[in-house]
Structure formats: structure tokens, C-alpha cells
Structure 1
Amino acid sequence: MSAKGKAVEQDGLFERLWNGTAAMEEWTASVSGGSARPVTDNIIAIHTGYLFGNATAIRTDAGLVLVDTGSRETASQTLAALRRWDDSPIHTVIYTHGHIDHTWGARLLDEEADAKGLARPRIIAHRNVLNRFDRYDRTQGLNSLVMGRQFNQPNYAFPQGHRRPDEVYDDTLALLIGGERIELFHGRGETDDATFVWLPQRRVLASGDFVIWVFPNAGNPRKVQRYAPDWAAALRRMQSLRPEVLIPGHGPVVFGEARAAELLGDGAEVLESLTRQTLDLMNAGSSLDQILHSVAAPAALLAKPYLKPRYDDPEFVVRGIWHLYAGWFDGNPAHLKPAPEAELAAELAALAGSADRLAARAAELADNGQTRLAAHLVELASAASPLDPAIQAKRATVYERCAAAETSLIGKAIFAVYQREAQARSGSIA
């Protein structure tokens, strides 16, 4: 198929993604192995699949500028796609943030420059990327555990030896590279070190993970603080630029000012709504429990193809908003200095008659679709009698039901971890 024919095919797929009749998995299959999407004569977006971050390449008179570099798993595909387009030296790399699916490929770029006897690319990022990489070094074991559980890779090893930026900035930075003006803006969203990149002469925006083609990942339960209100503000700032092309951190490129404005505005609105509702209840003295069961994202926005909660969950974001403004105490005095869970579980099991009775009731509730309540009871039963195979078998069944009830990948993954643990304790798996 010719390049023009392939572009037409991709445009047809985009239309189906936009109207919700195609799944993102179809788009991932279409770009698997590394695909370059022309943006202008001198700009391409490089895709390797939805789960891995996009990169943007800009051709200038001084050499190439690369926005993000690909993950450990796909960086070689990103570089190969770049080199099929242009073999010029890479002058500058811009990190949109410090997550490894956007930064790991910088190591390959250094290796390539060394092999050719060229200067290594200059890397620019927000100052907080340095802090992130230092934190990664201190928590490599924790990150290996968290990432392995989140993506169902039990032996996952989080990378070490992160390529630090050569230059950092704080709020904004304007670059002029080979005749191309490139503007960097800092914002907090999924991370505190995020940058979006604006090309004013071309009205092209590279948003980084402020746009990811699903509901914003602003509440991940196993990650550091995220910033829903700041994320909304960054999206509004991008919207005010009136981009004609939006290159997201994940997913396909959006062409056309109207569509870019709609996507940015809808993302801001859903986060603004959750923040406003949560703060109103906090200011009225509500507890976290009351807020979690009162706040809801607007259904019309969650129905948008680019805001479906397939990765993160609005309820997790509400927790993040609470923590951002109120700290860890949830308003329940029993949680301020709690008893050991095993002691509480043993007491409640005695009141119920046995731990097995708690587990049996949990299984009944799960079968009836009351998975939230079932999870409470089965975890108490497990804490009271952690080595009972029958209780663990019921626990595994409850968490299987919990995972099936979840829409978000993160929620499903966490329940699946404890389902497998219970299966192992029950003896049903080695």
C-alpha cells in the first residue's frame, strides 16, 4: 500500500475511534512495530502502540528535535521509525515528563551518537525530572513490585541508570533551534514534572500525558500524588493556544482546531467537576467515605471515546483530590490509630461465629453483585484465619468477582493480585 493509501486508511480508523465504533486495540495493531504519522512536511509523530508513549520528531536546520524517546520495550522501534524518515543528527531531546515509557530511549540515542562520533543529544526537561530519577533510584524494588502487579508481570524489574537531562527549566522556556521556535510549558497533572510543547509557527501541540485517549490517570492507587485541579488548568492553557494539531502522549494524533479544542475542553471539564464536587463536600465537613459515595463524574463526558475510564477510575481521582487538600486522615476516628487488622478480624469473626461464616457470607454477597461489601468481609475472614484453604478459596472467588466488576485496568490488576495470592494459599495453584 502506498504512503497516501495508508494515510487514508489511518484517517478512516481515526474517524471510527473518534465516534466510538473502533477500539484502541485496533489502532495499536495498526502501528505495532513502529509507525511514523506525518504531521507537517517537517514533523512526524512516532507510535509503537497505545501502552507505550508517543514521540514527536521535528526537522530543523540545526538537526532533529525529538519530544520523548520511547520505552525500554519499544525504544528501538521508535528510533528505527525515526531513521526511516530522517538520518540527521539529533540536536535536542525534550522529555515531557520522567516516566520511563517516555525517557528510556534516550540511552539508545546516546549510543547511536557515540557510535557515529557525534555529540550526544542535549536533553531538556522540567527541574522535577531530576528529583523523580533520584526517587526512582531509591525505590527501585518498590517500583518493580508495583509495575509488575499493575501489568501482570510478576518478575518485572524496574529500570535503573536513568538518563538525566542536561538542562532544566522551571515554568516556561522558549527555544530557537535551526529556525524553529519551540516553547515549553510546565504543568502538574499525572506528574509534578510535566511539560507540554508548543510550536507557535505551526500551531502544533505535543501534550505529553496530559492527553492519553482515556480518562485522566490522576488517581492511580499505587503511585505518588497526582494533581487533578492542576491537570485541568494545564488543559485549559493548551486549549487557549488553539492548536490545529494535537499530538498526545498516548494514542493517535488529533487534526483540526475544533476537535483539539473539544478533547482538551472535555478533559478539563471532567477534572474540574470532580474537583469542585469534592471540595464542596470537604468544605461542608464531609468525610472521605461520604464523598466517595456522593461524587460522580458527568456521565456524558465519561461516554466520550477519549474519556472512558479504562485505565484509571474517577473514584480513585476523588481520593487523590482528598489527599491533595486534606492529607491521609479520612475523617473516621477509628482509622487515626487503628488496631492491627488481624486483631479486629479475630474479634469480628468471634462475634459472627467463625471466620468461615464471614467468608461464606462474603461469597454470597459477591454472587449477588455486592462486591464492595464482599471484599470487606472476605478480607476480615482472611486476616482472622490466613492459612485456612477453604477461606482462601472463597477469597479468590470474591476477588475474581471484584475484578470482573471493574472497568479500569488498575482496579482489575489490583484485585487480580490478591485473587492469585488467595489461590496460592488455597492450594489451587502452585
Structure 2
Amino acid sequence: MKSKKSIMKLIVMSLVLSISLYAAEEPKDASSFTKEKNAQVLKDLPFSDTQDFTDAKKGFIATTPELIIKNDKGEVVWDMKSYEYQMGTGVPVTVNPSLWRVAQINSLNGLFQVTDKVYQIRGFDISNMTIIEGTKGLIIIDPMISAETAKAGLDLYYKNRPQKPISAVIYSHSHVDHYGGVKGIVDEKDVKSGKVKVLAPSGFLEEAVKENVYAGNAMSRRSFYQYGSMLPRNPKGHVDTGLGKTVSSGGNVTLIPPTDIIKTTGEKRTIDGVQIEFLMAPNTEAPAEMLMYFPQFKLLNTAEDATHTLHNLYTLRGAQVRDAENWWKVLDEAVARYGDKTDVVIAQHHWPKWGNKEIVSYLSNQRDAYKYLNDQTLRLINKGYTMNEIAENLKLPQNLDQDWALRGYYGSVSHDIKAIYQRYLGWYDSNPANLNPLPPEESAKKYVEYMGGSAAVMKKAREAYNKGDYRWAAEVMNKVVFAEPNNTAAKNLQADILEQLGYQSENGTWRNEYLMGAYELRNGTPKITATTASPDTLNAMTPDMILDYFGIHIIGDKANGKKMVINWEEPNLKEKYVITLENSVLVYRKVNSFGNADLSMTIPKESLLGIAGNATTLDKEVQAGRAKVTGDTSKFNELLETFDSFTPDFNIVTP
């Protein structure tokens, strides 16, 4: 049944690609305009400053030869060998030199000693895994995305250090690259028994689940663009994401719920002889996030709030807009609390920084950048400038702009400004002409007609391309592609244009976005099976979250006219819900006792998800003794028949 299959797609975490390639043009060389623009970058930025290379190599102990990590099916989850082409000294003309610089640093991988008793695994995933040696065991901070990469990292540590057991795991925040590998290093039985503690910031579990489930299908699809997952790894393809190489894919993404929640700034814990003080950072890089200070080591862990890039206030894969005001205030509090007593700062991406004076300057510049963007964007908003006008003209002050740690490798000044605008004013610029525009395909056809037809537009677009006016050429060719999606010549021209924009991009995610667009214009939309919601993520859903997600699946027209009331008791949690379908809306209410209903069922939430996912049936659950029902069981099947199906292979660069 189509409706049941839609939920089943959430039961398996995978990044399996089935690609049907069309006859396509190969990637082009860099144009003379791209070569000129990239050459100018070498003149404009302080490439003679190589301190970051020195810092990134400091404390290196060992790495894994080849560094190709596979899952239990023999499929590659992580492959650093494919980036060996970046180890040369010359900058390819198809890569922005600044992006090439950070890509080379991010290619450094292995086990590193940060300071006494503090180690990091870097280059085994997009994120770092920090390992702190306690009196009897290890404290692990952020076990990466996949169980396979986390295990490989811990195995490398054990080959070079004593094999102490794990005492605790700390999740710095609610993004999957900071918790997904936990079961690769910890047995959940040890957590439930109290042998291993799991710490996380307040709101962690709710935010981790919501971000990966509610809009997870769309986020999965968009992530292929942001991370360039399908691009070949060469100078004309995938280079980096700015925050790290890329994300591990096809691995086992896991989650163990926290046993200790950190709620307020200043809270302290002593774990296995290691003292930790926490600084809460909600709604900065993640809705639930915290920084950590270790007084014994004079070490500050900034989680993801201060790395070696201007970060995202809006992530291109899609997520809630982040709060620049709160971000700068958290960094300022970190400087005020710990600045004069910190000798080393680490983050869960990139490489450490040493020296008190250097650290205070680094954190202060990071703080100032977010405050500058926030304040100046609001200033120009109040002068009547629109989002795109501000993004086009506002730049960081020269001192901040020349700071390597604030270059736009992952975030960018442009889309951070747009995020601030969106946070305060939303999508509408107050121009009534933009209040209710035509949908893209219909609008494109009229644009092309008004401009004299596709042949005339393409002629002018080629002229713009030949002049290096790629941004404008991309804008007009997008109209032709949406007006005539079967026009191969138009798609190939648009691919050529996007490709040059990608070659010029300093931002790793912008490059990936442009090159993925070019790839799909030439090759078509691939068949993708992917989801951000792993089984552990789904199992962590509360009954409220499950019912919210069921509501998201309702097809309004298909549910029109249907009415039903279902009583549901979750036996393990002892919680009761009355679920009503009416007006094509699924409404639920937590109650103390039930009234009359079409169907009453007592069933665990895991079984309910299994039924919706076609892994079992209500009858089977009853027969197995896991469920009890009274009333009309056909009502539940009738509800499932209204569910929509989501597949992460919808079109992006074509209608």
C-alpha cells in the first residue's frame, strides 16, 4: 500500500543511489574569467600566513593507512583516499584558492594529541571525536555521524593509547554529526545499567528528532546538493564542504538517549576525575547546544560556535534560522568567563588553537563578526533595503575579512545576511509585486515568451556567458529550463554556467550546490533512497512527535469528508491519547481517561510505527500479545490510506 510504504522509508537509514545516466556533456575547463577571478584571490588574501597548517599538524600521532571505512555490507562509508589529489602544491584553476587551502587542511587526518590527556580523531567524518582520558576511563565528546566511523576512530586511539573503558559520552549539540556514531563505541546496555553516562544539553532529544524527521525527506534531498555527495572527487568535482571533507554516508546512524541533562550555564560535573563546566548556547549553531570548559587542562571546547570558518546562520540543506544575536553573546560570555584562563581551544570541527592571546583574539573576532552582520543588517533593514540588496553590498570590515577563521567556507556573508533578514522580516520584501507571484514553471514560460522565445534568450545568455556574466546568465537560463524542461541544449548551457560559478566559489557548500545542479542538468535527477531518520531516531520519538508526523503525512483531499475517533494508550509510558480525524486534520489530545471511539487500542509506539511502516500489522501485533484492540480495526487502515508517500528524488534544477 502506497501510504504504508511512505513511513517504511523512514525505518531504514541509507544513502543508496541508483543513477540512470543520460548521454551527457563532460565537465568543462575553467573559463578565462574564472581563471582571472581565482588568480585575484591569491593576491587579495594573506596566503603567506600558514599558521593554520602548523596548528592542524600539531600533535599528530598516527592515522589509518588508506582510510577507507566500510559498513557490514562491504559498502564504503568513508573514503579519504579519494582526496589524495589535494596533496599537491599547485592550486587547480577550477578551484577557488581559498577553498583549496582549507580543503588541504581538512585532508589532514588521524589521531592528534591536543594537550595532556586530551586527544582528537580528525578526518574520519565531517566532525571530530574528542577523547579525554579520565582516572579510570575515557570521556568521548561527539562520536561523529556513523557507528562505523566512530568505531574506526576509537580503534585508532586504542592502537596508540591504553585501552581504558568509556566512562561517559557527551553530545555537544543536537545535530546528527555529533551523536550518530554512539553505538559504534558504546553498548546501550552499559548506559542503561549506569556504567556509562550520556550527557547532553537541555532540549537535545526533542531537537535531534524533530530536525531529522519532520522535514527529513526534503532535507535528505537537499543535503545531496549541500554536501555534493554524488560529485566525483577531483579538481572539477568535490573538493570540500568547508567545515570538513564531507559527511559519512551509508553507515549506521544511531542514538542513545542522554541520562544527564545540562540545563543552565555554570553547571558543573566531575566525571572520572575530570572537572567540566558548561556554558549553554541554545539557538546558536543548533537549537540545543552547549560549550564546555575543562579547568584542569585550561581548555575550552566551543562545540560548533567557533570554528575556522564563518558559520551558517542558515544552512543550505534547510533548518531553522539561527540567532546571530544569541551567537555573539554566547561567544562574548565565553571570553568573559574563560578568556584569561584558557591556553587551548578546540571545536568539534577543524583544528585547535593554542596560546591565550591568540585564543582571545580568535574568539573576539568570531563574536564581532556575528554582531557586525546582525547589527548592520538590521541598520540597513531600517533604512528600507531589501534582503538581496543588503546581501549584495554589505561586507565584513577588512580586519575580520582577512581573518582566515572568518572566511566563508561553510557559512557566507551573503546567506548569513539573508538569514538575519528572514529571522526579523520573513520572506516578503513588502513590494506588492512580490506578494503573490506566479509559480516557477508558469512564470518561466511567460518570461521566455516576453523575451522573444527560448532561442533568443539562449543567444543572449551565451553572450553573457562569453563575457563572464555568469550570475545573470544563470538567472535567465533558469527561466528557459523551467519553461522547456526537455530542452537539452538549454540544460547543458545552464550546466556550463553553474559550473563556472562553482569553480569560483570560496564556499564549499556553494561549490557543491552549483556543481550538483550542473550534474543533474546533464544527467537527470538520480534515483535516491535516503533519509535523515534512523531507527534509533524514530524510537526516540515521543507519542506527540509520532502523531505530529502522522499528521504531516495526511493528504488533505484524500482525507476530505472522513471522520473517525481513535483511542490510543501507550502501555510502556502509561499515556493515553484521543486521536480525531476531521476536516482533513489529524488532531490529538492527551487525556486521563477515554470516552467513546470508533477504535480503542493499547499498543507500544514502536509497534505503531512498525504497522505504519508496513513492517507488521495490527492483527499480528494483537496475535503476538503486544496490542489489545476493541472496536472497528478497519478505521486504522482507513487512516493509513490517507497517508502520502515521500521520496527524496524530487527535481530541483528542473520543474
Change (3 A) 1:67 1:425: closer
Which one of 331, 351, 355 corresponds to residue 454 of structure 2? 355
| Contact 2:56–2:108 (8 Å) recurs in 1 | no
The answer as to 2:196 corresponding to 1:121 is yes
- Which residue of structure 1 lines up, in the alignment, with residue 318 of structure 2? 223
1:165 maps to a residue whose letter is: P
Q: Secondary structure in 1 aligned to 2:306?
A: coil
Which one of 271, 282, 287 corresponds to residue 177 of structure 1? 271
Q: Secondary structure in 1 aligned to 2:185?
A: helix
1:54 maps to a residue whose letter is: N
- Which residue of structure 1 lines up, in the alignment, with residue 173 of structure 2? 97
- Normalised TM-score (structure 2): 0.58
Per the TM alignment, residue 159 of structure 1 is displaced from its structure 2 partner at its CA by 6.0
Q: Secondary structure in 2 aligned to 1:69?
A: coil
The answer as to 2:428 corresponding to 1:329 is yes
- Which residue of structure 1 lines up, in the alignment, with residue 140 of structure 2? 66
Distance, in Å, in 2 between the alignment partners of 1:11 and 1:320 is 31
Change (3 A) 1:425 1:207: closer
Per the TM alignment, residue 70 of structure 1 is displaced from its structure 2 partner at its CA by 2.5
Distance, in Å, in 1 between the alignment partners of 2:378 and 2:287 is 21
Which 5+ residue runs of structure 2 have no aligned equivalent? 1-49, 59-97, 232-248, 526-655
Per the TM alignment, residue 158 of structure 1 is displaced from its structure 2 partner at its CA by 8.5
The answer as to 2:288 corresponding to 1:189 is no
The answer to which of 390-399 and 302-311 deviates more is: 302-311
* Aligned-pair identity (%): 21
- Which residue of structure 2 lines up, in the alignment, with residue 75 of structure 1? 150
Q: Secondary structure in 1 aligned to 2:302?
A: strand
Per the TM alignment, residue 421 of structure 1 is displaced from its structure 2 partner at its CA by 2.2
Pairwise mapping of residues 127-276 of structure 1 onto structure 2 (< 5 A)?
A: 127-135=202-210, 136-154=212-230, 161-172=254-265, 173-187=267-281, 188-224=283-319, 225-240=321-336, 241-242=338-339, 243-276=342-375
Per the TM alignment, residue 236 of structure 1 is displaced from its structure 2 partner at its CA by 1.4
The count of corresponding residues between Structure 1 and Structure 2 is 410
- Which residue of structure 2 lines up, in the alignment, with residue 5 of structure 1? none
| Contact 1:366–1:401 (8 Å) recurs in 2 | no
Distance, in Å, in 2 between the alignment partners of 1:272 and 1:12 is 24
Deviations 1:255-304 (A, max 9, x none): 11111111111111111111111010112232213222221122332322
- Which residue of structure 2 lines up, in the alignment, with residue 37 of structure 1? 113
Which one of 411, 417, 420 corresponds to residue 312 of structure 1? 411
Deviations 1:388-414 (A, max 9, x none): 122112111121122223221111111
Distance, in Å, in 1 between the alignment partners of 2:501 and 2:104 is 27
- Normalised TM-score (structure 1): 0.86
Which 5+ residue runs of structure 1 have no aligned equivalent? 1-9
The answer as to 2:468 corresponding to 1:389 is no
1:14 maps to a residue whose letter is: T
The answer to which of 51-60 and 238-247 deviates more is: 51-60
Per the TM alignment, residue 169 of structure 1 is displaced from its structure 2 partner at its CA by 2.7
| Contact 1:210–1:235 (8 Å) recurs in 2 | yes
- Which residue of structure 2 lines up, in the alignment, with residue 56 of structure 1? 130
Per the TM alignment, residue 221 of structure 1 is displaced from its structure 2 partner at its CA by 2.5
Deviations 1:329-365 (A, max 9, x none): 2333333221122222222212211022222322322
| Contact 2:304–2:348 (8 Å) recurs in 1 | yes
The answer as to 2:472 corresponding to 1:373 is yes
1:166 maps to a residue whose letter is: T
Per the TM alignment, residue 212 of structure 1 is displaced from its structure 2 partner at its CA by 2.1
Deviations 1:167-210 (A, max 9, x none): 22333221122343211111132212111101134321011111
- Which residue of structure 1 lines up, in the alignment, with residue 595 of structure 2? none
1:70 maps to a residue whose letter is: M
Change (3 A) 1:321 1:89: same
Deviations 1:96-128 (A, max 9, x none): 1122222122112223976x9985521111123
2:280 maps to a residue whose letter is: H
Which one of 110, 121, 126 corresponds to residue 186 of structure 2? 110
Per the TM alignment, residue 245 of structure 1 is displaced from its structure 2 partner at its CA by 1.0
Distance, in Å, in 2 between the alignment partners of 1:129 and 1:346 is 46
CA RMSD of aligned residues (A): 3.0
Distance, in Å, in 1 between the alignment partners of 2:134 and 2:386 is 54
